[in-house]
Structure formats: C-alpha cells, structure tokens
C-alpha cells in the first residue's frame, strides 16, 4: 500500500471567535482543536502529517512541538485554502501515494470517515474523492453540485452560490483524498476569481473533472462531523456533542 500523507490547514486567525490565538489553538474540551484532528489522522493510519501554519505560527509550532513526526510548512500570506496547499508543492512532489487535505479547525473529524475515503480510493483510485454530508441548515458551507444522474460536478462556496444553489443541503466539509500528481497539476489551474480574491481548494475537484479525470463525492461523514466552530455558541455545541459521544 502506498504511503498516505495528510495536509492540515492551520494558518488562519480566530477572528470570529474573538480570540488572538490561531484558530486551531482554541481549546475544545481542554485541548487545542487541532489536537483532535491529529488524533483522528493517527488513528486512521496516516503515515506523514504536514501542518500548514501562518498566523502566529510560532504558537502553533510550540504547542505541537512534542507531537511525533509532524512536519510544518509556512503559508506566508493567507490567500485561501488552495494557496495553503500550494505552499506544500515541494512536499507533495516528493510523495508518491495519495494525499489527504483537511482543515485544522475540524475537531469532530472521525478516523472511521477518513479510513472509508481511503478504502474507496484503494478499491477504485480517482483523481479526487471528497467526503460530504447532508445538513438541514447548510448556511455558510460549500454546496455539492451534481448532474441529473447524481454525478459530481463541482463545489460552490456559500458566498458565491446562487439562491437556487443555496437550497442544496449536501455540503462539503473539506475532507479530500487526492491522487498527488493530479492535485499538483490542478493547483496550477485554479485562479482567485471569486468575491474574496482567494485560491480555493474547493475549485480543484472541478478542475480535475473538466480534465476528464474521475472525481467522486461520497456522503460518508457522520452527523457530528457537520458541526463547525465559528462562534462561541458553536464551540459549546461541539463540546456538548463530544461529551454525548457525537464523535
């Protein structure tokens, strides 16, 4: 089996949380939220973990200094999630196996979900396999676009979606397994042609599909994994879900 690498995007600020800390260091049940992510990746059998740091990177590096085997890559400007992965080009170029990309502020991530995506990749390799979920209130999340036969078409961010697209309840939770060489090629094609002027990793699956490469979106994520943290109220909801076994 080819080695598996994970890129953990951890460069952002905690502005909406009204914190001066990097967002991934905000505590969730007494531990930085990124620690829950790293636990799940280890349990899923990831061979190499790369943490992409940016805002107050010294704090993230110090917090994770005793974590075995981590590698850090600096995103000197925060120009979006796609830009974060671009910062890892050198690491990816030296890697032959599949690459998993995940946001570091996803403390509800479950090792079983990551493993299911990799199992699907191992059975039928694809340029990209992304994990999705259904959410009754999908506001703020990217929507999964499919054709009339249910095949994946692309992802549209909430802020860029039309009113019709905003009614879609299947959402992207930023769990991606990529064939590494296809990811590297697609990164060269994404552009900051959006309201935010940022490079989105969410554009990569669409680029791959337009190239005629296989891309699959699998609704395998568990209900708890759709819980995000952008406010103090959402943090309390995640902590309650963890206490109730929502992980």
State which of 86-95, 147-156, 221-230 shows the largest mean pLDDT: 86-95
* Whether pLDDT at 72 is above 80: yes
- pLDDT interval class at 1 (50, 70, 90): low
Does the structure show a pLDDT above 90 at 99? yes
Burial class (CB in 10 A: 0-12, 13-18, 19+), 80: buried
pLDDT score recorded for residue 121: 97
Residue-wise pLDDT for 148-177, tens only, equals 999 999 999 898 899 999 999 999 999 999
Q: What is the mean pLDDT of residues 81-108?
A: 96
Tell me what the pLDDT averaged over the chain comes to.
Answer: 93
pLDDT at 53 over 70: yes
> What is the pLDDT at residue 18?
76
> Does the pLDDT value for residue 81 go beyond 60?
yes
Looking at per-residue pLDDT, the higher value among 226 and 88 belongs to 88
pLDDT at residue 17 in the model: 76
Q: What is the pLDDT confidence band of residue 246, given thresholds at 50, 70 and 90?
A: low
- For residue 173, the tally of other CB atoms under 10 A from its CB is 23
CA pair distance 225, 24, nearest whole angstrom? 16
Query: 185-222: per-residue pLDDT in tens?
Result: 999 999 998 888 999 998 999 999 999 999 999 999 98
- The tens digit of pLDDT for each residue in 23-40 reads 999 999 999 999 999 999
- pLDDT over threshold 80, residue 16: no
Please give the pLDDT value at position 15: 74
Sort 192 into a burial class: Cβ within 10 Å, 0-12 / 13-18 / 19+.
Answer: middle
What span, in angstroms and rounded, lies between the C-alpha atoms of 231 and 147?
Answer: 34
Domains of the chain, with CATH numbers? 5-222 (3.90.550.10)
Lowest-pLDDT range, 70-74, 132-136, 223-227? Answer: 223-227
pLDDT of residue 107: 95
Q: What is the DSSP string of 155-224?
A: EE-GGG--HHHHT--EEEEEEEEEEHHHHHHHHTT----STT----TTHHHHHHHHTT--EEEE----GG
Residues labelled catalytic: 16
């Amino acid at each position: 089996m080819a080695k598996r690498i994970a890129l953990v995007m951890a460069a952002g600020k905690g502005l909406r949380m009204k914190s001066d800390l990097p967002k991934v260091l905000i505590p969730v049940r007494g531990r930085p939220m990124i620690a829950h992510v790293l636990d799940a990746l280890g349990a899923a059998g990831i061979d190499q973990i790369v943490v992409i740091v940016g805002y107050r990177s010294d704090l993230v590096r110090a917090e994770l200094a005793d974590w075995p085997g981590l590698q850090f890559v600096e995103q000197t400007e925060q120009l979006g999630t796609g830009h974060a992965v671009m910062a890892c080009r050198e690491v990816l170029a030296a890697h032959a196996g599949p690459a998993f990309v995940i946001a570091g502020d996803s403390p509800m991530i479950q090792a079983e979900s990551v493993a299911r995506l990799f199992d699907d990749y191992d059975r039928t390799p694809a340029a990209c396999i992304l994990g999705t979920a259904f959410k009754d209130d999908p506001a703020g999340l990217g929507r999964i676009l499919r054709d009339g036969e249910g095949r994946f078409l692309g992802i549209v961010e909430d802020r860029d979606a039309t009113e019709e697209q905003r009614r879609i309840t299947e959402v992207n939770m930023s769990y991606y397994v990529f064939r590494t060489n296809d990811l590297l090629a697609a990164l060269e094609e994404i552009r900051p042609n959006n309201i935010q002027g940022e490079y989105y990793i969410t554009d990569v699956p669409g680029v791959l599909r337009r190239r005629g490469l296989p891309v699959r979106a699998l609704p395998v994520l568990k209900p708890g994994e759709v819980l995000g943290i952008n406010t103090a109220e959402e943090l309390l909801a995640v902590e309650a879900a963890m206490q109730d076994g929502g992980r």
